[in-house]
Structure 1
């Protein structure tokens, strides 16, 4: 063991059982720096398991049928802020990277990573570092660095909304009533209702609560 008195306790979240088994076997065979203490194949299983086991690091798949890694983060981070999340995904798409980092992950690596590199990434995030596969670091810097020339990361869903719809959504997420939004934006209540209906349709959400969470996830609030 190098530099640690106890191994990093790791929880695996991925909807492919064979992949989980492979990662567990690899990690168990090559190092005593990490200890796989649990696993889950769905968002619901992950939330229950993480709350029960309270691991140091969660290795988190981004795409799962019932909501994906970002949903796990949303349900767990408030109650267990000390747990660190490292995304481990086949996807290297900018929108996936930014979505999970905005949700609260400490890093993002792709499934092409070697076993030894994965161990180093787990240990590093457990110690407070942010870890990204080389190509992905630029996405994060561009999305979060407050500097001239930073290239914004495209959010396909957000891009569907007009500037006025974003204004209405921002105020709605802050808790404004329709009448207050109308007064703030100098439009009629009927126009506010029209914009909200349009935003619900474009985002495929069903109510104000879901819209508020959607806006918060994209840091519109």
Structure 2
């Protein structure tokens, strides 16, 4: 019997890492094994070197530089792992930037446990894996038929967490739904939302939705 795929889970939310570990432990018995966790770029780079995983489940937005920075800093290692992005974001600049950075796949956090186990196995074998809604978009983007939104000065003003909150609010999520999705409090969501509107010089959710839509961020 083949050995299970060794997995490193990288996400800055401890509760999410715990949930992924539990889910993989339940649905991936004999197929995958979580060998380590990391919460930011520095701990992820160290964990890759120490644990020697086959596949890294990598959040796109991380303290210390983001998922692309993890891939850049570990590319030189012998037997470097393959990377599978697991993110709440399906925005153009995140998906394309992460794939260009070296990831073999990109799936969103709406994925089920069995689907994630299957995705990890396929990436370990060298396949490219994408959530269904993203696959066609990625192909079109690399073919040049779909313009990828450029990161503009307005977007640069927002922190990574503010970007996550902005996208969910712009898509119509209620504050409670955003809090649940990002594992933060409703009060924290409100604080981030106020900062987003202030930095972008917008006055309402309606204006924010139009702003994000115009930049293909939804």
Band the TM-score falls in, shorter-chain normalisation:
0.5 to 0.7
**Contact 1:95 1:153 (8 Å CA) reproduced:** yes
Is the CA contact 1:90–1:111 (under 8 Å) kept in the aligned structure 2?
yes
Query: Hey, what's the Cα distance between the residues in 2 that align with 1:49 and 1:125?
Result: 19
Structure 1 pair 157–80 and aligned structure 2 pair: CA distance change class (3 A): farther
C-alpha change, 1:65 and 1:139, in structure 2 (3 Å) is: same
**1:68 positional shift:** 1.2
1:27 and 2:24 are equivalent in the alignment = yes
CA–CA separation in structure 1 for the residues paired with 2:49 and 2:68: 16
Deviation at 1:81, TM superposition (A): 5.5
Q: May I ask how many residue pairs the two structures share in their alignment?
A: 154
**Which string of whole-angstrom CA distances, capped at 9 and with x for unpartnered residues, describes residues 143-172 of structure 1?**
2236xxx122122249x9xxxxxxxxxxxx
TM-score by length of 2: 0.67
In the alignment, structure 1 segments of 5+ residues that lack a partner are 161-221
C-alpha RMSD over aligned residues: 1.9
Unpaired segments ≥5 residues, structure 2: 156-218
Match of 1:6 in 2: 3
Residues 125-152 of structure 1: CA deviation (Å, up to 9, x unaligned): 0011100001111231122236xxx122
- Three-state SS of the structure 2 residue aligned to 1:156 is coil
Contact 1:9 1:34 in 2 (8 A): yes
Partner residue, 1:153: 148
**Secondary structure of 2:98's aligned partner:** helix
**8 Å contact kept, 2:74–2:80:** no
Q: Distance in 1 between matches of 2:85 and 2:149?
A: 20
Taking CA–CA contacts closer than 8 Å with sequence separation of 6 or more, which of the two structures ends up with the larger relative contact order?
Answer: 2
SS of match in other structure, 1:55: coil
User: Residue 77 of structure 1 corresponds to which residue in structure 2?
Assistant: 75
TM-score (norm 1): 0.66
| Other-structure match for 2:66 | 68
Deviations 1:51-102 (A, max 9, x none): 1111100000001222111111111112245410000000111110001101
Inter-partner Cα distance in structure 2 for 1:61 and 1:29:
21
CA distance in 2, matches of 1:157, 1:79: 33
